[in-house]
């Protein structure tokens, strides 16, 4: 920082740059407790030797920073006034040498701090990402994707600011105060007391403004997160498409403009607060050296001090004021640093609703027998939270502060058995619980009452990864990554050979289409596969399921996105896909219903009918009504 950026040798921001830029979270500033500090220190522990070296470097730097003012004293009193040219050259050369050493130590310190800080970011980011992967489905259905991305990106990046900023600044300020105080007392105890007497005039306005700046920083981060979430939704390809369809572009631009203007206003207010503080502190920054020169000058005139001593004391005042002022707000700085980790811990403390037991049973193979016994389920509204990840008591709390609640039952006392290799169709009105059943089989949720077993094993006793390894899903809304065709296919089986991939795509009747693409299997499908039609995406999804080769299949109206031509192409693929596998099929199309071995009829979360198509039609129950309503006209025409 050059001279133009300082007042009386003090930095222009007086440490407030940390208050304006640090993320303080959306809630109250966390208090400093041993538990919180221990939890944060866990991330520093693997790099303790690097941090020990950094602090040692800081201590040496603080000591060397006092050398040049002391050399200045001898340069004036002994070399200049003593007219000793040789000493003048030696002292001037020594000052240059000290500057070079300080520069080299600074490079070493910042290099080590950057490496340690980036390594910590990697550790925190990896831990948070892996934890988010374990979160249950409800977490993602109730959270905004922009907020999740912001938490894992912006908040985690702020960890380096804590590591390379707060920690090194505190260490640097402590070492500098100790070293400078020793140098000042050595030069003149009286001038030292005079210099220290000015400090409260810096501290009081800094304390007042720091409180204002904390509030503005919180509001700024909230406004930034709100605008980022808005942009993430509206500028996503699906959001853009919906905006154009509904003609809401001007309205959304107006909303974005309002949020942007609020952010501008908060930044301006932060800047103005800093400028008022700068004006007040600039006065006292000049007052301190002025008093030292006045009193010290009197001492020089009376022969009690040398001119070099007074100049050296004035030069050392910069080394004293800056760290003292920053240490005055060290409590606030530590709170702010804890706030960065607190937002990360908020996610890490969310316990997945579906968790593996410590003694979970591995599942190398499966026959595919599924049994529901008295299963009742309601979608949970809270997220499980843990006050501490280190073994203390876990409590159930909602992330938003509400108590644990559950919605009305989506399934009530449902019981049925699916034999190995049997294909079962689920039919019923919208909201009857069909999709809920398909979510319980791969343990996206666990039932509230009753049990679900696979080959006689309670699903809650099995490892989730093992269970899902044997289950394939083709959903109504096909998801494809913004990657090539082959990368999307290999996501189901990373070690799949080219022959296996081609065989799967041929079976799904999609190989010829892929071969005609500009780059064949290396063609990028676009965000969420928007470069492909619904039928093409669906056939890719079926090819991906074929490649996985699971024992159990869940088909959520897998042909809903297909036109009559595409459906004809896929029916043979579905027959190949289903052959010899246990299948649960949510069906609306007549061909899918008629092809099932059995039909389960759901109504308002209850299983009301079970049987074959012919038998259920003859019963004149709900299935007969649904069948007549949906397919009666088709049958009349034939």
- The CATH number of the domain where 50 resides is what? 1.20.1560.10
β pairing state of 471-474 and 552-556: parallel
201 domain-assigned: yes
Q: pLDDT at position 37, please?
A: 77
Domain match, 190 and 334 both = yes
| CA 496 distance to own-chain centroid | 32
Q: Quick check: 321 and 199 in contact, CB under 8 A?
A: yes
- Furthest CA-CA distance within the chain: 121
Domain match, 408 and 294 both = no
431 domain-assigned: yes
Q: pLDDT at position 398, please?
A: 36
483 domain-assigned: yes
Domain match, 327 and 380 both = no
d(CA 419, CA 434): 19
Domain match, 334 and 418 both = no
Q: Quick check: 476 and 435 in contact, CB under 8 A?
A: no
Q: Quick check: 223 and 262 in contact, CB under 8 A?
A: yes
Domain match, 297 and 426 both = no
| CA 283 distance to own-chain centroid | 43
For 275-283, the CB contacts below 8 A with 24+ separation are 276/209, 277/14, 277/16, 277/205, 277/206, 277/209, 278/7, 278/12, 278/13, 278/14, 280/205, 281/7, 281/10, 281/14, 281/202, 281/205, 281/206, 282/7, 282/8
Q: Beta-carbon neighbour count of residue 176 at 10 Å?
A: 24
Q: Give the chain's count of helices (H) and strands (E).
A: 25, 15
Question: Of the candidates 463, 420, 442, which has an alpha carbon nearest to the alpha carbon of residue 548?
Answer: 442
Question: Of the candidates 288, 274, 251, 365, which has an alpha carbon nearest to the alpha carbon of residue 15?
Answer: 274
Domain match, 455 and 346 both = no
Q: Which two tokens stand for residue 422?
A: 């049997």
Q: Which domain holds residue 536?
A: 370-386+404-637
356 domain-assigned: no
Alpha helices in 329-400 (DSSP H): 330-348
Residue 57 burial (C-beta neighbours within 10 Å; 0-12, 13-18, 19+): buried
Q: Quick check: 360 and 463 in contact, CB under 8 A?
A: yes
Domain match, 250 and 151 both = yes
Domain match, 445 and 327 both = no
Q: pLDDT at position 235, please?
A: 78
Q: Quick check: 416 and 372 in contact, CB under 8 A?
A: yes
Domain match, 378 and 325 both = no
β pairing state of 384-386 and 394-395: antiparallel
The total domain count for the chain is 2
The sheet with strand 582-586 has its strands ordered as 471-474, 552-556, 582-586, 423-427, 598-603, 606-611
Question: Of the candidates 498, 564, 567, which has an alpha carbon nearest to the alpha carbon of residue 539?
Answer: 567
Mean pLDDT by 10 residues, the chain (638 residues): 38 36 44 75 86 91 87 82 83 89 90 86 86 80 71 73 77 88 86 78 69 75 79 74 73 85 83 71 72 83 84 82 73 70 81 83 87 89 45 36 52 93 88 89 90 92 89 80 85 86 84 86 74 78 85 76 60 70 79 81 91 85 80 51
Q: Which two tokens stand for residue 113?
A: 């701090």
Domain match, 408 and 556 both = yes
The sheet with strand 384-386 has its strands ordered as 350-351, 384-386, 394-395
421 domain-assigned: yes
Q: Which two tokens stand for residue 299?
A: 């001492």
Q: What is the DSSP string of 13-45?
A: TTTHHHHHHS---SSPPPPP-HHHHHHHHHHHG
Q: pLDDT at position 123, please?
A: 87
With tokens 């000591």, the residue in question is 63
- The CATH number of the domain where 599 resides is what? 3.40.50.300
267 domain-assigned: yes
* pTM value surpassing 0.85: no
d(CA 395, CA 358): 19
Q: pLDDT at position 415, please?
A: 94
Domain match, 37 and 172 both = yes
318 domain-assigned: yes
Q: Quick check: 433 and 441 in contact, CB under 8 A?
A: no
Q: At what angle do helices 85-134 and 34-44 cross, to 10 degrees?
A: 100
357 domain-assigned: no
Question: Of the candidates 293, 316, 284, which has an alpha carbon nearest to the alpha carbon of residue 200?
Answer: 284
Domain match, 319 and 408 both = no
| CA 625 distance to own-chain centroid | 49
């Amino acid at each position: 920082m050059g001279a133009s950026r300082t007042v009386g040798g003090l930095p222009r921001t007086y440490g407030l740059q940390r208050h304006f830029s640090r993320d303080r979270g959306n809630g109250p500033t966390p208090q400093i407790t041993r538990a919180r500090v221990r939890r944060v220190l866990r991330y520093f522990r693997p790099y303790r030797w690097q941090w020990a070296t950094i602090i040692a470097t800081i201590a040496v730097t603080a000591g060397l920073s006092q050398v040049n003012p002391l050399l200045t004293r001898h340069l004036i009193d002994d070399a200049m006034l003593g007219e000793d040219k040789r000493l003048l050259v030696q002292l001037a050369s020594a000052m240059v040498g000290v500057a070079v050493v300080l520069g080299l130590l600074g490079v070493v310190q910042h290099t080590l701090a950057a490496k340690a800080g980036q390594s910590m970011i990697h550790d925190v980011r990896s831990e948070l990402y892996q934890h988010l992967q374990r979160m249950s489905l409800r977490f993602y259905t109730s959270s905004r994707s922009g907020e999740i991305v912001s938490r894992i990106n912006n908040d985690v990046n702020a960890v380096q600011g804590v590591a390379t900023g707060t920690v090194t600044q505190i260490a640097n300020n402590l070492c500098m105060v100790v070293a400078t105080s020793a140098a000042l007392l050595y030069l003149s105890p009286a001038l030292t007391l005079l210099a220290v007497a000015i400090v409260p005039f810096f501290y009081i306005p800094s304390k007042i403004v720091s409180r204002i700046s904390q509030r503005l920083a919180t509001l700024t981060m909230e406004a930034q997160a709100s605008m980022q979430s808005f942009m993430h939704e509206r500028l996503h390809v699906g959001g853009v498409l919906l905006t154009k369809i509904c003609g809401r572009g001007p309205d959304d631009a107006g909303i974005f403009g309002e949020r942007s203007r609020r952010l501008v206003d908060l930044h301006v207010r932060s800047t103005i607060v800093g400028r008022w503080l700068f004006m007040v502190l600039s006065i006292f920054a000049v007052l301190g050296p002025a008093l030292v020169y006045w009193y010290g000058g009197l001492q020089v005139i009376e022969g009690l001090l040398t001119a070099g001593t007074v100049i050296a004391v004035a030069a050392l005042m910069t080394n004293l004021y800056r760290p003292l002022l920053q240490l005055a707000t060290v409590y606030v700085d530590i709170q702010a640093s804890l706030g960065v980790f607190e937002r990360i811990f908020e996610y890490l403390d969310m316990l997945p609703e579906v968790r593996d037991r410590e003694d979970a049973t591995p599942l190398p193979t499966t026959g595919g027998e599924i049994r529901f016994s008295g299963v009742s389920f309601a979608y949970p509204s809270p997220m499980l939270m843990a006050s501490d990840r280190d073994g203390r008591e876990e409590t159930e709390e909602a992330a938003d502060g509400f108590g644990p609640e559950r919605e009305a039952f989506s399934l009530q006392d449902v019981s049925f058995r699916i034999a190995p290799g049997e294909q079962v169709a689920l039919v019923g009105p919208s909201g009857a619980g069909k999709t809920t059943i398909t979510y319980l089989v791969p343990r996206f949720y666990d039932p509230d009452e009753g049990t679900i077993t696979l080959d006689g094993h309670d699903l809650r006793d099995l490892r989730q990864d093992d269970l899902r390894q044997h289950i394939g899903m083709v959903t109504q809304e096909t998801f494809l990554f913004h990657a090539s065709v082959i990368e999307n296919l290999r996501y189901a089986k990373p070690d799949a050979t080219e022959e296996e991939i081609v065989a799967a795509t041929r079976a799904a009747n999609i190989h010829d289409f892929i071969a005609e693409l500009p780059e064949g299997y290396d063609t990028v499908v676009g965000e969420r596969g928007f470069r492909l039609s619904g039928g093409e995406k669906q056939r890719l999804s079926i090819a991906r399921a074929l490649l996985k080769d699971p024992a159990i299949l869940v088909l959520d109206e897998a042909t809903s996105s297909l036109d009559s031509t595409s459906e004809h192409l896929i029916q043979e693929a579905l027959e190949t896909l289903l052959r010899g596998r246990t299948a649960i099929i949510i069906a609306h199309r007549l061909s899918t219903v008629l092809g099932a071995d059995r039909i389960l009829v759901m109504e308002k979360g209850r299983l009301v009918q079970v049987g074959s198509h012919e038998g259920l039609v003859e019963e004149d129950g709900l299935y007969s009504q649904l069948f007549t309503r949906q397919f009666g006209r088709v049958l009349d025409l034939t």
